[in-house]
Amino acid sequence: MSQTRTISALLAEYLMKKNREKWSTRQWRQRAFAQLIAAIGDIDCGSITICEIEDFESFLYGKDLSPNSIRSYLKAIGPVLKYGCRRGYRHGDPFVNFRLPRAVDGEIRIYSDDEIRQLLAAADRLWKAKILAALTAGLRRSEVLNLTISDIDFAAGRITVQPKKDTASTWRWTPKSYQRRIVPMTDDLNRVLSAILIDDVPPGQPYLLLSEERYWYLQHRGSGMTDRQKLCPDENFSPAFRRLRQTAVLQSGTFHDLRRTCLTKWSYALPAHELKKLAGHASIETTMRYYLGVGSDVLDRAKHATNLSAYKAVGATGLEPATS
């Protein structure tokens, strides 16, 4: 190797070269490398072998992290080490013979029909639109907040999720997975968005689901907007949703669970490859693992399909009540 780089220097160079990487990805990558340096020191990146990766994994398990978190940390450092190979700072990929921890599927929270009615009843018009955009069009939070008038075809009932450029009235933003996609817009969402466009959005504001005050504030920041703000233009979004959920007397549930609920309901009617495209996922595995829950109606149908009434009729189960 003609050149050497410490781990921290390699990361700094990688982040400088990949300056268009999403803010959230950069933050997670930096966090992963802070843990890596804590585990093995800020050594020459060319010295990292599978042994150091195994030591890093053991260090993370020692912090009582979940297998999913450990897997994410390990995956975050891989691209940087491969970059180091391309630049001649190291040879070989230490992950070649390394097996990542298996991801553990967690419970997928989906809202019941009653919970949805309670949420909508507690929401004002702007929040109704945000909820319906996630619940019926499967939009992510950043997609909801970066939705512009030009993204919507009211006549056809469609929403286009697409990148935005830095202009006098918009800021640069790219959908997750970098995919442009078209999703359906229900009549209910169409009506709410139309009312907001007519009554609430001032002339010259392209963003439909940001308040006039918030858009004015961001516009006056101009080039001072951070990547985090571009990803989530409403920094009060999560606390406001929690307050709304409490008003609706719901004990749990996140805004992203509305998207999970949408994709789960779509899965009852659509094949997996079509669902993946509507969801904007890079892989079908993401769709299947993180977004398809089991609704109460599915559980009821499954329970009905395997009830023992037919067997009891012929006295075949041994579960019949005793007779005297």
Mean pLDDT of 296-311: 63
Question: Residue 178 pLDDT more than 50?
Answer: yes
pLDDT of residue 179: 82
Q: What percent of the chain has pLDDT over 70?
A: 87
Looking at per-residue confidence, does 138 or 176 come out higher?
A: 138
Average pLDDT, the chain: 88
Closest by CA position to 258, among listed 127, 153, 82 = 127
C-alpha to C-alpha distance for 86 and 84, rounded to whole angstroms: 5
Mean pLDDT of 146-162: 96
pLDDT of residue 313: 52
pLDDT of residue 59: 95
Cα dist. 263→52, 137, 236, 256, 292 in Å? 40, 9, 26, 11, 7
- pLDDT category at 285 given cuts 50, 70, 90 is confident
- pLDDT category at 1 given cuts 50, 70, 90 is very low
CB 125 within 8 A of CB 136: no
Structure tokens at 309: 């009434």
pLDDT of residue 101: 86
The CATH topology of domain 7-86 is DNA polymerase; domain 1 (1.10.150)
CA torsion through residues 18, 50, 4, 27, sign: positive
C-alpha to C-alpha distance for 295 and 309, rounded to whole angstroms: 24
C-alpha to C-alpha distance for 255 and 236, rounded to whole angstroms: 13
Looking at per-residue confidence, does 250 or 313 come out higher?
A: 250
Mean pLDDT of 161-186: 91
C-alpha to C-alpha distance for 76 and 33, rounded to whole angstroms: 8
CB 181 within 8 A of CB 280: yes
Looking at per-residue confidence, does 221 or 30 come out higher?
A: 30
> Helix (H, G, I), strand (E, B), or coil: what is residue 15?
helix
Q: What percent of the chain has pLDDT over 90?
A: 65
The residue ranges of every structural domain in the chain are 7-86, 113-290
For domain 113-290, the CATH class is mainly alpha
Between strands 152-153 and 181-184, the pairing is unpaired
Question: Residue 289 pLDDT more than 80?
Answer: no
